[in-house]
Structure formats: C-alpha cells, structure tokens
C-alpha cells in the first residue's frame, strides 16, 4: 500500500552561500562538462578559475568507481547532480535514503547534508512518498508547529484499493502508525517508509518501490536562485531593481525576477540562451521563428524573422489572414488592374506611372512634414526656438537630426543601452564628429515626461560647469524628444560606494565638486536653479573620478527675489527634504538637505534605508550626539580621514537639520569643505556651526540675508562667476 503527497510550492531553504556583488564572466578555458552532465554558468567545477562560476555555485567532479567515468556532486557529496537547467533554474540530483524518523515519529522532510538559508529550495515538481499500511504523516512548517497538511494510508483486506492525495512538502514530517507494529514493517509485510522524490518517479516504478528497502537512490528536483548577501532584496519589493538586473543578468536580452530571497534570470520572449552571461558568450540570442513549423508559430504565410519576434504576411498576390492555414486567398484586384493596364497604349501607361509616382512622392513628403510639425509642437518646440533664437552658435549645435542619432547608436540597438532610469532609456553613441555621447530616450509618450525633458534642455543649455553633465543638444523629429549629452564612463557614485570602495581623499574631493556644482546652480546663474533630486545615483564619475551632477528632469527655477516656490512634491524618499515633503515649499535649502544625506552616505558607506526600513540619517545624527560616531563610520574613513571626519560629520548634521533656515547655504558648505582639502585646518565652529553669518565673516565672505554673494571680486581660485556661461534666461 502506498500514499503519495505531491508538493505544489515547497519552500525549504537547504544551503547558505555567499555570492559576490559582481562576478567576472569568462567562459574561455572553463570546463563545462562532467561525465554526461553539462555545467552551464553560473555553475562551475571546483578547481577551475574563479571566473568560471559564481562563488558558491562550484560543484565537484570526481571519478565514479561504479561506471568507470565521472560523476558531478553537490553539497557534502551526498547528492549526485544528473542535470542542470538554466531556463527553469533547477538541478536534478540523486538522494540516497529515507527521511530519518526519531523514536517519537519526527523527522526533517529533506536532509541531504546541505546548510540552511541558501539558494536551493525543493522544487514544486517533487512528491512526499509514504509507503506502508495503516500509517499517516503530518507535514509541519519548518521551525514551528503549524500544520500544512497530512495524509493517511489504510490496507483493505484485498489490498487492491489504493488512494492518493496531494499536500505541500514542508520543513518537517511527523510519522505515526495506526495499528500494531512489527519491527518497522506494515501489516501486509510492506516496509513503512517516508521520502521525497521527483514527481511521477514513484508511480513509474511502483512495483519495485512498494517492496524496496530503505537506502534506494531517489531523484529529487531542486530550485536555485542567485543570493547576494550584500544586496539582499528589500522586503516588499516585487520586481528586480535596475542595479540588481545589471549585476546578475549579463545578457542584454534578459529579464530579472525576484524569487524569495534571491534572483533568477531568463531570456526575453523571442530569445534563447544563457541569461547569466554576455551576448557574445552564449547569452540570449534571437530565435529564428521562421525555421520552426508553421503550427508552432501559427504562421502559414511568408515569415520574416526580426530581433525577438517575426512578421507573418500573406504571399505576394494573395490577401487574407496568414495565421489561418487557408486564410490567404488569391488577390483578384491586382489581376484585374494588370489586365486593364495591358489594354491601354504604352504611352498612356507611362503617363499613368509617372503621375502615380509623383503623387506618391508628394504625399510622402507632405506626410513627413506634417509629422515633423506635429512632433515639434508636441515636444514643446516653441520653447526650444526661444532657447536658441538669440545665439546662432547654440542653435547650430543644439539641433541634432534623427538620422545622426540612428547612425550613432546602430539604430538604437539593445546592446548600446547603458541605463534605464525613471525618465527613460539611455544609449551610448558616437556622433559623426567622434564625440562619445549618452542619448536619453523616453519609454512612453507621456506629456509629463516630455515636459521634464524640455525642462532639462532649458536648464542644461544655460549651464557651463565642469561638475555638471554637458548637454550637446536634442532631437525633436521623433514622437518623443531625445536628449544628447556627454558620456560619463565610470558609473555613478552609488556604484562606487556600495559595490566597490573609495579612498577618503576621493570621497572628500567628490563632495567638494558636488557642492561646487550646487552652489553654482544656486548662486551663479541669474535665475537660481534647484536640482530637486540630488542623490548618489545622479552623481556620475568619469575616468578620473571627477563628479558630474546629472538628471535635471525634475529641476525648477526660483526667481531671485523669492526665497522659494510651492510646487508638487517630487524627488527620492530618503534624500528628500522633510519640510519640502510636508509643506510642498521648495527652497535652495532642499538641495542642502539632500547633499547632507550624501555626506552621511560618503562617511558610512551605507545605504539610505536598510532592509529593515531604518533611516541612516536618523541613526547618524543620534550616534554623533551620543559621541558614538565610530559605530556607524566606514572603517576606511576612520583609518584615512583623521580629524577631518568629525568636521565633515558635523557639517552633514547641520545640512540635514529639520528647519531649512537652520541649514547652511551650499556656498557655505562648499567653502567649508574646500578649507578641509586645501589647508587641512578648516575654519569652522565645532561641534555645531551656531551662526553662519559669523562663519561668513570669518571667511571674508560677505552675504545678504539669503546667503547670496554680494562681492563679485572674490579671489577664489575656481570662482563660480568665472565658470558660468549663460545662453539666455527662461522663465518657467
């Protein structure tokens, strides 16, 4: 008598492995087979180069004395790997032995020598098998006594009635018998056994499995995910972040999905291959659907393959529905037209062809002009005309044709994508003048995003600062506008802080350069500009780690005579000024708060919010006040920063004060940080700057009540006024 319980969704952690934040992918020189088993990346064989596998996904290949060949092992060696599937994220292993039941009838559902909290779980394609008469098994959640399900088996007299139920395979099994025992065997002489097996295996081998003894080799299906200890998914998130996708899924035609505490990658529809490696290393490549059978793709017409998909049309001379086996029928209209033309004279035929050609050409030109005019108006072209009307040199370089950008990006090829942010997709391209540029293209036709793009054009066209990303121009010949700006090659400050590391001198210099750019935007332009979304992701770094402030899609002007404006709240939680969030009043002190958060991020090398939702800023302010700052500082900052660290920490706390009027201006912040870099003896009242007016006088820096410079004759080496170049003024 046998009873089989099948798991629909078993979630049982079996192995804890630490994976690096990023791993090199180098298939060359890597052994990808062991016996008759293929070993695709991210798996690899122990003894190969570290780049052949993600740390922790290494398997053991050893001699098989039984077969005389090789066998592949997982875990402590008790599991033999028979198959690895990248597409399904599963590993088929062979497990020897039943579930061990103690004298009280309690045991673990699957114990194969693997550790807890790792990337492996039991797949839903497994069954809990119970063999014997008058027995039952209860399934409990791991680490608690919650009952998930149970099943019982009874032996009728004729031994012919077999019943089957299905329940989830859980963490633990409670095994009981419902009658007298005979040394571990059932009333019918069958052994009482409980084990996990791949779904269907027991039924295919029912006769042997009913009478076999414990210790039989059983196939088990494991599901695996990529677990990143330093980048654990945030609780409540349903989708992979862009950063997680770039770290884990290396193919440009891949997709990332969150699975519990880890990630899995898959090829996009229309592509096949290994999503964990780049396209040139057996990554996701286009499937030629036209080579498949018509019924597989539902196309009985002429098939044309394209990247990721295909086109299906009726053959020339026919019309109808190509997705129907008999849907394409002969087009009698074309045949009648051919007969009619053949009746006329050759002269009339030539005239008709010429007239038709002229009309088609004129129609195409008119339609193209209408589309360009429509897109120009839709994309706020009048604003751009106002932008370039007073400066011919700006007008000449600002307007870039769609044809130029298509050549620069190989027709916006997927492999040219370098980012996918909230305001659109960014492509890398090379213009005809050999300038390497980044091209921002909105994903959808949404008027709000178009307005933000035009806003970014208006702002960046005025700005000429070495620490602000340079705008080359824009294109309005498409349904959505395109921005073209300088390509910054070395990623973002966020990447360098949380995936790599920076020296204290680099962190201090980056902070100074960012402060310079914000002070320039606040004080050196006729109409001050508030960035409104300062965060480490929007600070780009070039090859020399020079900071470049980017993404001005949310920025706003504030007239000089006003201290702020009331606007719809926009920004990033964690970096956003709390007073702006609650009052909707935007001031230059809102950028100061965001910059203070970045200073805290530079000092601690921690993310603004932890996985528990704790606020980094709140913890930082509390520890500084209690004199326990070393508990939260990055060890490298403590080692290299010396006494400067406390000064920067004090400045950071001043920047994130709740009331905007209690915060310094960005110009005061810039001068304070510069004094640390140049003299290593900052002129700053510690531990808290009690009066920024006194600080200004100590620095020989006269200021008005709002902190704006009234002495244009300052001798600062990098004068904000000298760096400024204004195209024209643009009220908003």
Residue for token pair 């606020």: 615
Q: Which of 436, 433, 441 is nearest to 476 (CA)?
A: 441
Question: CA separation (Å) from 173 to 114, 212, 363, 691?
Answer: 18, 21, 76, 69
DSSP 3-state of 285: strand
Nearest to 224 by CA among 248, 252, 245: 248
Which residue bears the tokens 């195209």?
A: 727
Q: What is the pLDDT of residue 468?
A: 93
Classify burial at 568, counting beta carbons within 10 Å of its beta carbon; exposed 0-12, middle 13-18, buried 19 or more: exposed
Grade residue 695 by pLDDT with cuts at 50, 70 and 90.
Answer: very low
CA 244 vs CA 190, 197, 265, 495: distances in Å: 52, 34, 11, 11
What are the tokens at 314?
A: 């009726």
Q: What is the mean pLDDT of residues 596-616?
A: 83
**Kind plus residue range of the DSSP H or E element containing 448:** helix 447-460
Classified as helix, coil or strand, 414 is: helix
- 207 phi and psi angles, rounded to 5 deg: -60, -45
* pLDDT of 215 above 80: no
In 225-308, which ranges are continuous DSSP H helix? 242-248, 294-297
Which pLDDT value is given to residue 5? 40
**Per-residue confidence at 350, pLDDT binned at 50, 70, 90?**
confident
Q: Is the model's pLDDT at 219 over the cut of 80?
A: yes
Task: Determine what percent of the chain falls in helix, strand and coil, rounding each to the nearest 5.
Answer: 30, 25, 45
Structure tokens at 179: 């009658």
Active site residues per annotation: 533
Number of alpha carbons in the 13 Å side-chain half-sphere of residue 438: 21
- pLDDT per residue as tens digits for the range 494-552: 999 988 889 999 999 999 999 999 999 999 888 888 999 999 999 999 999 999 998 88
User: Phi/psi of residue 137, each to 5°?
Assistant: -130, 135
More confident residue, 20 or 516: 516
Q: Over 50: is that where the pLDDT of 652 sits?
A: yes
End-to-end CA distance of the chain: 81
Report the distance separating Cα 547 and Cα 472, nearest Å: 18
Contact indicator for 493, 467 with CB cutoff of 8 Å: no
């Amino acid at each position: 008598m046998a009873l089989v319980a099948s798991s629909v969704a078993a979630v049982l952690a079996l192995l804890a492995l630490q994976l690096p934040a990023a791993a090199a992918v180098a298939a060359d020189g890597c052994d990808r087979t062991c016996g008759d088993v293929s070993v695709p990346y991210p798996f690899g064989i122990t003894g190969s180069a570290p780049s052949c596998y993600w740390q922790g996904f290494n398997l053991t290949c050893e001699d098989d004395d039984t077969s005389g060949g090789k066998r592949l092992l997982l875990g402590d060696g008790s599991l033999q790997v028979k198959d690895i599937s990248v597409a399904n994220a599963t590993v088929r292993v062979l497990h020897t032995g039943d579930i061990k039941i103690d004298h009280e009838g309690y045991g673990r559902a699957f114990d194969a020598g693997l550790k807890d909290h790792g990337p492996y779980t039991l797949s839903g394609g497994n069954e809990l098998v119970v063999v014997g008469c008058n027995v039952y098994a209860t399934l409990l959640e791991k680490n608690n006594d919650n009952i998930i399900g149970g099943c019982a088996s009874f032996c009728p007299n004729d031994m012919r009635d077999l019943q089957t139920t299905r329940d989830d395979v859980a963490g633990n099994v409670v095994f009981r018998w419902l009658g007298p025992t005979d040394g571990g065997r059932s009333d019918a002489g069958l052994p009482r056994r409980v084990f996990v097996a791949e779904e269907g295996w027991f039924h295919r081998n029912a006769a042997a499995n009913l009478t076999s003894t414990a210790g039989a080799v059983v196939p088990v299906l494991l599901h695996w995910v990529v677990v990143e200890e330093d980048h654990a998914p945030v609780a409540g998130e349903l989708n992979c972040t862009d950063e997680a996708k770039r770290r884990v899924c290396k193919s440009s035609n891949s997709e990332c999905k969150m699975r519990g505490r880890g990630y899995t990658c898959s090829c996009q529809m229309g592509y096949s291959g290994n999503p964990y490696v780049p396209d040139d290393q057996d990554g996701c490549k286009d499937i030629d659907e036209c080579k498949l059978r018509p019924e597989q793709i539902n196309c009985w017409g002429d098939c044309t393959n394209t990247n990721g998909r295909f086109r299906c049309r009726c053959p020339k001379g026919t019309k109808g529905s190509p997705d129907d086996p008999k849907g394409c029928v002969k087009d009698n209209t074309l045949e009648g037209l051919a007969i009619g033309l053949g009746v006329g004279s050759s002269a009339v035929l030539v005239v008709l062809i010429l007239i038709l050609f002229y009309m088609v050409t004129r129609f195409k030109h008119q339609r193209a002009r209408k589309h360009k005019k429509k897109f120009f108006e839709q994309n706020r072209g009048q604003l751009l005309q106002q932008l370039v009307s007073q400066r011919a040199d700006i007008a000449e370089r600002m307007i870039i044709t769609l044809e130029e950008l298509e050549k620069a990006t190989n027709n916006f090829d997927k492999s040219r994508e370098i980012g996918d942010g909230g305001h659109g997709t960014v492509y890398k391209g090379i213009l005809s003048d050999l300038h390497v540029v980044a091209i921002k293209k909105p994903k959808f036709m949404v008027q709000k995003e178009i307005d933000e793009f035009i806003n970014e054009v208006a702002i960046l066209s005025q700005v000429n600062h070495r620490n602000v990303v340079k705008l080359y121009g824009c294109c309005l010949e498409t349904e959505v506008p395109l921005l073209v700006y300088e390509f910054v090659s070395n990623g973002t400050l966020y990447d360098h802080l949380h995936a790599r590391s920076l020296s204290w001198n680099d962190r201090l210099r980056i902070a100074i350069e960012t402060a310079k750019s914000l002070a320039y935007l606040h004080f050196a332009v006729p109409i001050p500009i508030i960035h409104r979304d300062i965060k480490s992701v929007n600070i780009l770094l070039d090859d020399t780690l020079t900071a470049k402030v980017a993404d001005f899609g949310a920025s706003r002007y504030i007239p000089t005579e006003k201290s702020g404006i009331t606007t719809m709240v926009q920004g990033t939680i964690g970096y956003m000024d709390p007073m702006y969030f609650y009052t909707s009043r935007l001031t230059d002190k809102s950028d100061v708060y965001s910059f203070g958060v970045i200073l805290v991020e530079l000092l601690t090398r921690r993310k603004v919010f932890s996985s528990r939702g704790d606020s980094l800023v709140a913890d930082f302010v509390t520890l500084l006040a209690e004199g326990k700052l070393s508990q939260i500082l990055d060890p490298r900052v403590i080692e290299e920063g010396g006494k400067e660290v406390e000064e920067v920490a004090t400045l950071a706390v001043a920047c994130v004060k709740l009331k905007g009027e209690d915060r310094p201006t960005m110009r005061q912040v810039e001068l304070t940080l510069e004094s640390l870099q140049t003299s290593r003896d900052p002129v700053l009242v510690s531990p808290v700057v009690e009066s920024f007016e006194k600080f200004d006088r100590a620095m020989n820096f006269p200021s008005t009540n709002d902190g704006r410079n009234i002495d244009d004759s300052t001798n600062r080496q990098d004068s904000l006024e000298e760096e400024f170049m204004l195209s024209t003024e643009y009220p908003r």
